[in-house]
Amino acid sequence: MQHTFTFSVGCSTETDAVTFTGIFGVAGTASLKYVVLGIDYAPPGAKSTVSYAGSSVRGTSISTTQSFTNTSSVSTSGDGGFNLFGIISGAGTGTASASYTSESDSSSSLTVQTTTNDGDTIPGPSSSAAGVDHDADIIWVWINPQIPYTVVGAQGTANSILQGNYQSNPADPAGEMDIVAMPVIWLENPSMIPSDVLSVLARSWDTSGVGALTTADYAAILAQDPLAGGSSYNPNTDPNSRFDLQAGFDFNYEPAAQGNNPITETFSVSAQSTSTAGQGASTSYSVGASFTADAEVDFVVDFTGNIKTSDTITNTSKWSSIVNSATTKTASLSITGPAFTDNYTGPIQMQVWRDNIYGSFMFFPIN
């Protein structure tokens, strides 16, 4: 289908008529099975907590450019809508819920971050004898995301693809962002996921064919936490600089003396400047997706003609300049050591590190 658009461009001295022939500004939507919004790392000790108060912003920058054959053709608008000609109608912040916002942070990525209305308290593992146990880490998974796109260029060419802010799929009866907190132990052992949670992860409202989360999806989500599954990962030797050490925030996880109660330490951790290497940290995963046109069937033809896999979007999560420009990047820690009867024999000294991709704090023993 061919279209010709003619409009005038006004200048100080003259007005020129410009004609575009072909598809120009055909809009559509990519509906994704899920997006990983963040990871919160469990502190050591069954009675310990790490609390991100409402003023503490966490989030990640997400790029989909690796999904396309011509990555230089993809740009973000930071706006949810486009005018007739597919020209960006103005950058802005999209509020997907009371807890998250989405906005453009570069020409090719969008930041999805918590708002000041959001706050979470993450407990330690069920047993203080475990010390740091990453089975208790929480991965936040958004299961009804959509991305608006506009294809600009001649039919079948897709010279440019403009990406808008993330949105929630209106087909989901939740009516807003549908976010599931997934403990790492569930992702390692999907048989442990409660039936009521499985019913949500089934995404039965989605008739596009993308379907429910599968064991392969659980494995891909789990892989975003490099410390999960008994990993031997060490942030000190990571060439990708996923974590930055937060100097001055070491603490002790010391067993109580026989007959005594364990000590509880409370303190506030403020995020420090991200290292240059840490600003390049990233992680990628592929998710199932379906594509629909708002008005023109040509969108699906032109859009999928420039995508590497017709039913998949690749998300690359990385350090966000927006999250790290915020001044409220703190967490409150309450660390209660193991009881004498826990028979804890692990490392006593612990360090605090910051995840350069998701903005949360991680706890690592000094061996």
Model confidence, pTM: 0.84
Query: Is residue 50's pLDDT more than 70?
Result: yes
pLDDT tens digits for range 99-118: 777 777 766 778 887 866 66
Count the residues in the chain: 367
Domain hosting 47: range is 25-240+276-326
Q: Which residues pair with 9 in a beta bridge?
A: 16
Helix (H) or strand (E) holding 5: strand 4-10
The half-sphere exposure of 295 on its side-chain side, counting CA atoms within 13 A, is 8
The pLDDT of residue 71 is 54
Q: Which residues pair with 225 in a beta bridge?
A: none
Question: What is the count of structural domains for the chain?
Answer: 1
The pLDDT of residue 298 is 54
pLDDT tens digits for range 128-167: 999 999 999 999 999 999 988 877 665 545 467 778 888 8
pLDDT tens digits for range 216-252: 999 999 999 999 988 899 999 999 999 999 999 999 9
% helix, strand, coil for the chain, step of 5: 15, 35, 50
The half-sphere exposure of 313 on its side-chain side, counting CA atoms within 13 A, is 25
> Does the residue 288 lie in any domain?
yes
Over the chain, what is the mean pLDDT?
81
Percent of the chain with pLDDT over 90: 53
> Does the residue 254 lie in any domain?
no
> Does the residue 298 lie in any domain?
yes
- How confident is residue 55, by pLDDT bands cut at 50, 70 and 90? low
pLDDT tens digits for range 284-318: 999 999 888 765 555 555 566 667 777 888 999 99
Residue 329 to residues 58, 127, 258, 274, 359, Cα–Cα distance (Å):
8, 29, 38, 12, 8
> Does the residue 119 lie in any domain?
yes
Strands 93-95 and 251-252: unpaired
> Does the residue 203 lie in any domain?
yes
Q: Which amino acid is at 138?
A: I
The pLDDT of residue 26 is 54
